Chain A
Amino acid sequence: MKEKPKTKDYDWWLLAIVFAICGAGLMEIYSATHSGHLAGMHVRQMWWILLGVVCMLVVSRLDYHAILDQAPILYLAGVTALVAVLVVGHTRFGAKRWLPILGAFLQVSELVKLIIIIVLARFFSEVRTDRLSLGELIKAGILTAVPLGLILLQPDLGTAMVLVPLAVVGAFLAGIQWKHAVVVIALAAMMLPVGWHFLKPYQRERVTTFLRPEEDPKGSGYQILQSKIAVGAGGFWGKGLGRGSQNQGGFVPVRYSDFILAALAEEMGFAGVLVMLLLYMALLLRLVQNAQRANDRAGMFLVMGVVAVVGFHVLVNVAMVIGYMPVTGIPLPLMSYGGSATLFVFLALGLVMNVRIRRFVN
């Protein structure tokens, strides 16, 4: 009745795409930092990727059903950690986001994203029909809202926002009813002004800047403007690796992390961007395909949760680089420098592999 998952069942195409993206990221991190005091960053990022691959393999070996079984405990642990961050967390860049673990500072909210993927997958898989009832919708909403609120308190608007598409995609797949959807959207619209009231001044500034960037080109509009200049100046073929003046001169803000695609766009041009965006599209479509082939609803929701989170990251980051969205501090998955973010993506991919190698298991 039960077969052992085989190594050849891993999604090798998916891994190839992932490593191609990681490679481009390493290259651009090197190009952006090699001449300054940040030199060597690409090596550290390589270690994070290796650690991520190991984590992915480990996660893929545990049966995802067993992981989903522990969802309530994981949820409690996650919420506790978020509270702990608020109480004893390490403050960096004006926000409490880091807990000292394993000698490094881990961004707890990254781990929480993973936990919410698991928790919502478990929750939606328990829905026995193709239509989501109002009670179930509200329960899913509350499950999401509690960690979301805690993350907002850090404050980390970007990560908090990621939880929203997770719930939305889950509800859509679980069969949300049109009337409920309309009410939810209306409620969200009504909450906007209230939410505005709770935003920190710097967050409000980012939003107003996004709406009218030309008003303050050296203030908070600076980042978006410089990013757009870098992208536009790249032209079709780019200026060549290590030759972008916006990148090398340091005009592109955090060019090795959040704005890494702007750096790549300047040096590799539209051609490079085209390759990268097609790679991301291929990654996401491949993930959806894995969801379609999942053995059960739990596996499917798990994989689609990963699609929602990774897809949202890519969308928000790329749109920000070309000035279509405000600056939110969301990194580009697999390319941006950062330990926690990289580990998160590989752990999430571990879940996908987990589902994939068990697709024939009964």
Chain B
Amino acid sequence: MAYWFKNESKLPQTRLAIVSYAIVGITALLLLGFWKLQVIDSEHYAQLADRNRIRAIPLIAPRGKMLDREGRVLVDNYPSFSVLLLRDDPQAVDRALPQLADGLSMTVEDLQQQLEAAKTLPKFQPIVIKPEATQADIAFIESHRADLPLLEMLMVHRRRYLPDGFLAHVSGYVGEVSALQVDASSGHLRPGDIAGKTGLEKQYNELLMGTDGLRRVLVNSVGKEVGRLEQKEAIPGKPIQLSIDYDLQVVAEQALAGRKGSVVALDPRTGEVLAMSSRPAPDPNQFAIRVSREEWKRLNEDPDRPLLNRTIQAQLAPGSVFKIVMATAMLESKAIPENFSVFCSGATDFYGRQFHCWDKRGHGTVSLHQAVVHSCDVFFYNVGKRLGIDRIAYYAVKLGLGRKTGIDLPSEESGLMPSEEWKERVFHQKWFPGETISVAIGQGAVVTTPLQLARTIGGIAMGGVFKQPHLLANMKPVPEERFAISDDTTEKVTQAMWGVVNENGTAAAVKLEGVELCGKTGSAQVIGSEGRKRAGGGKSEYKDNAWFVGYAPRRNPEIVVAVLVQGGEHGASAAAPLARDVIKAYYDKKSRRTQQQYTVEYKHYDMNPQAQVVMAQPAGRPQGADETKAAH
């Protein structure tokens, strides 16, 4: 059969050859593509494949507890559930937003904001959308496991603090880390992590925090769990033991209730802080979950400044407490004879200006001892004038004022001890001699924190040994400063402070039976007397601040307590009783403990007779038998 379209002439073979070359060339190109993916970039894609199939759910490490010096719990944790949102599938998340918001009683805007904030995180990493799940939330998640596979519950540990702001400024509080903290942590912190924000929570965050673990599960393309991988257990944070004594802290907190001020108790022999309270105080339990913007604003704008830890951050004129520094400077510098005395008529003139004594009737002729006991201003005006500001500043700084104490708390303030050099540097002005007169009684530019005063007075009574205040128990070695104060000076100054309480001095009302309670009162003006008149008098924010720094016993004290009551007016009546209460509690407890120790030691002796037998046995008995017994 022949076909009319049959065409037996061949086409040029080159055209077919070109097609062959094209086939070989294209094959080679495609192979290069595979080579790039499978050999050059293989690791990258292997990681992506793992991300696909491995879902990581964090196991949150519990934070370490805070214990008092006797092991009583001050801060601990309680279990709680957070709601996690799995974001592997952004489209599914977008679709489910209204349902999620409805089921978890949240707003869609809130959820969108949170998703926006987490945009830079890897998609396989779930985010916490609700830190504290309610029973209703848990029920919602459980009942929608099948149709809403985007939610997961995460067991977390919430911080629990003692109620009513007890120890709040010391413990501080925790919160979600800020972007700044994440950047500064060099990979240690991730967004959403809980870390200390203030106080000890911040100071010892590394210790307390622990390391989160990871539960890794294999999932298929629809998110169904198909297997498990090895689990990385969480490493709990370490507990820290504080030098705080719960019993004394209770007294301190109660003493300050309803007032504005600070109470701090130190053991000057070790630098241990036994109690530290600052009021008003926030309730850190409110920050343990996310703190609302309104609440935060309210706390920050509160004129009583509850977020201020007054013990280390209130920088106020120390008033007459400063006279102890003056007395020490006077005796140590030897610029003024020991028997120096002044006639106080209730006021005196310097540089054409009249300076009043607090007691307008005058103190008559006063020596140093009497001037401290009765807090005579006129005496110290004269001492100040003779010493001059630079000498005063030298001793004040050596005794610990105008610089940080170095306590293990963040954001401590340094206070200020003025000098000629300081005024020149800051104000570019010469120091006026009249300013020295004010500084001499703890007014004018000199400001201190309650903790500084406790350390300074305690250190003077120790004869010039200043232990660094600290909150962590068993800190060794404790950094210390020594500033040699002659025994004679120490004796005279401590005698004077003993007199303040026990010789009908300014704090005679707080005398304690059986305790060598010593101290110094202070009432510091917050505003000049003319300014007070202008402001209309009696308002509480212009009332004098009441100070008292007390300690016991007179030499080598065991406890020193600094008290500040803002607007308390008189150190003797407003501040001294608080210090007395704390010191009394300390001695009450001490006597109780001494009795208890006797009983415990006696019992211990009694209950272990075998040890006695082993120790008392005569030499020459078979060794093997001994060792078995000794092993008990």
Q: Which of A128, A233, A236, A280 contacts B48 (CB 8 A)?
A: A233
Cβ–Cβ contact B11 & A229, under 8 A: no
Cβ–Cβ contact A250 & B53, under 8 A: no
Known contacts: A229-B49, A234-B38, A249-B226. The answer to whether A297 contacts B9 by CB under 8 A is: yes
Cβ–Cβ contact A269 & B89, under 8 A: no
A219–B89 Cα gap in the complex (Å)? 9
CB distance from A253 to the nearest CB of B (A): 9
Cβ–Cβ contact A265 & B5, under 8 A: no
Cβ–Cβ contact A322 & B53, under 8 A: no
Cβ–Cβ contact A232 & B7, under 8 A: no
For chain A residues 265-319, which have a beta carbon within 8 Å of chain B?
265, 269-270, 273-274, 277-278, 280-281, 284-285, 288, 291-292, 295-298, 300, 304, 307, 311, 315, 318-319
Kindly list chain B residues whose C-beta atoms are within 8 Å of the C-beta of A44: none
User: Does B19 sit at the interface, judged by CB under 8 A?
Assistant: yes
User: Does A231 sit at the interface, judged by CB under 8 A?
Assistant: yes
For chain B residues 1-28, which have a beta carbon within 8 Å of chain A?
1, 3, 5-13, 15-16, 19-20, 23-24, 26-27
Known contacts: A251-B221, A280-B27, A285-B23. The answer to whether A68 contacts B53 by CB under 8 A is: no
Most A Cβ at <10 Å: residue of B10, B24, B27, B50: B27
Cβ–Cβ contact A246 & B49, under 8 A: yes
Kindly list chain A residues whose C-beta atoms are within 8 Å of the C-beta of B37: 228, 231-232, 265, 322
User: Does B46 sit at the interface, judged by CB under 8 A?
Assistant: yes
Cβ–Cβ contact A218 & B49, under 8 A: no
Q: Which of A65, A245, A288 contacts B3 (CB 8 A)?
A: A65
Kindly list chain A residues whose C-beta atoms are within 8 Å of the C-beta of B27: 277-278, 280-281
User: Does A172 sit at the interface, judged by CB under 8 A?
Assistant: yes
User: Does B44 sit at the interface, judged by CB under 8 A?
Assistant: yes
How many residues in B have their beta carbons less than 8 Å from beta carbons of A?
47
Kindly list chain B residues whose C-beta atoms are within 8 Å of the C-beta of A235: 38-39, 42, 46
Closest to B54 in A: A245
CB distance from A138 to the nearest CB of B (A): 19
Cβ–Cβ contact B90 & A297, under 8 A: no
Cβ–Cβ contact A126 & B5, under 8 A: yes
User: Does B163 sit at the interface, judged by CB under 8 A?
Assistant: no
How many residues in A have their beta carbons less than 8 Å from beta carbons of B?
60
For chain B residues 243-276, which have a beta carbon within 8 Å of chain A?
none
1/0 per position for A235-254, CB-CB distance to B under 8 A? Answer: 11000000001100111000
Closest to A303 in B: B16
A68–B1 Cα gap in the complex (Å)? 13
A147–B46 Cα gap in the complex (Å)? 44
Kindly list chain B residues whose C-beta atoms are within 8 Å of the C-beta of A251: 49, 52-53, 220-221
Kindly list chain B residues whose C-beta atoms are within 8 Å of the C-beta of A226: 52
User: Does B31 sit at the interface, judged by CB under 8 A?
Assistant: yes
Known contacts: A65-B1, A122-B5, A304-B19. The answer to whether A231 contacts B38 by CB under 8 A is: yes
Kindly list chain A residues whose C-beta atoms are within 8 Å of the C-beta of B20: 285, 288
User: Does B616 sit at the interface, judged by CB under 8 A?
Assistant: no
Cβ–Cβ contact B48 & A229, under 8 A: yes
Kindly list chain B residues whose C-beta atoms are within 8 Å of the C-beta of A295: 8
User: Does B35 sit at the interface, judged by CB under 8 A?
Assistant: yes
User: Does A230 sit at the interface, judged by CB under 8 A?
Assistant: yes
Cβ–Cβ contact B226 & A274, under 8 A: no
Cβ–Cβ contact B7 & A236, under 8 A: no
Kindly list chain B residues whose C-beta atoms are within 8 Å of the C-beta of A250: 220-222
A281–B28 Cα gap in the complex (Å)? 10
Kindly list chain B residues whose C-beta atoms are within 8 Å of the C-beta of A69: 3
Kindly list chain A residues whose C-beta atoms are within 8 Å of the C-beta of B528: none
1/0 per position for B212-233, CB-CB distance to A under 8 A? Answer: 0000001111100010000000
Cβ–Cβ contact B30 & A319, under 8 A: yes
User: Does B91 sit at the interface, judged by CB under 8 A?
Assistant: yes
1/0 per position for B430-443, CB-CB distance to A under 8 A? Answer: 00000000000000
User: Does B45 sit at the interface, judged by CB under 8 A?
Assistant: yes
Closest to B8 in A: A296
Cβ–Cβ contact B16 & A291, under 8 A: yes
Kindly list chain B residues whose C-beta atoms are within 8 Å of the C-beta of A292: 13, 16
A292–B14 Cα gap in the complex (Å)? 10
User: Does A324 sit at the interface, judged by CB under 8 A?
Assistant: yes
Closest to B33 in A: A322
User: Does A207 sit at the interface, judged by CB under 8 A?
Assistant: no
Kindly list chain B residues whose C-beta atoms are within 8 Å of the C-beta of A231: 34, 37-38, 45
For chain B residues 543-571, which have a beta carbon within 8 Å of chain A?
none
User: Does B295 sit at the interface, judged by CB under 8 A?
Assistant: no
A287–B88 Cα gap in the complex (Å)? 47
A245–B23 Cα gap in the complex (Å)? 33
Cβ–Cβ contact A297 & B11, under 8 A: yes
Cβ–Cβ contact B31 & A273, under 8 A: yes
Cβ–Cβ contact A218 & B90, under 8 A: yes
A265–B39 Cα gap in the complex (Å)? 12
Cβ–Cβ contact A218 & B89, under 8 A: yes
Cβ–Cβ contact A249 & B53, under 8 A: yes
User: Does B102 sit at the interface, judged by CB under 8 A?
Assistant: no
Most B Cβ at <10 Å: residue of A69, A126, A270: A270
Closest to A173 in B: B15
Cβ–Cβ contact A300 & B49, under 8 A: no
CB distance from A181 to the nearest CB of B (A): 13
CB distance from B34 to the nearest CB of A (A): 5
Q: A277-B27, A315-B30 are in contact. List 4 more A-B contacts (CB 8 A).
A: A245-B53, A270-B39, A288-B20, A292-B16
Q: List 16 A-B contacts (CB under 8 A).
A: A65-B1, A128-B9, A130-B12, A173-B19, A219-B91, A232-B45, A235-B42, A236-B38, A269-B38, A270-B38, A274-B34, A291-B16, A292-B13, A297-B7, A307-B19, A315-B30
The 5 A-B pairs at the shortest CB distance, nearest first, are namely A232-B45, A233-B49, A250-B221, A270-B38, A232-B37
Chain B residues within CB distance 8 Å of chain A: 1, 3, 5-13, 15-16, 19-20, 23-24, 26-27, 30-31, 33-35, 37-39, 41-42, 44-46, 48-50, 52-53, 88-91, 218-222, 226
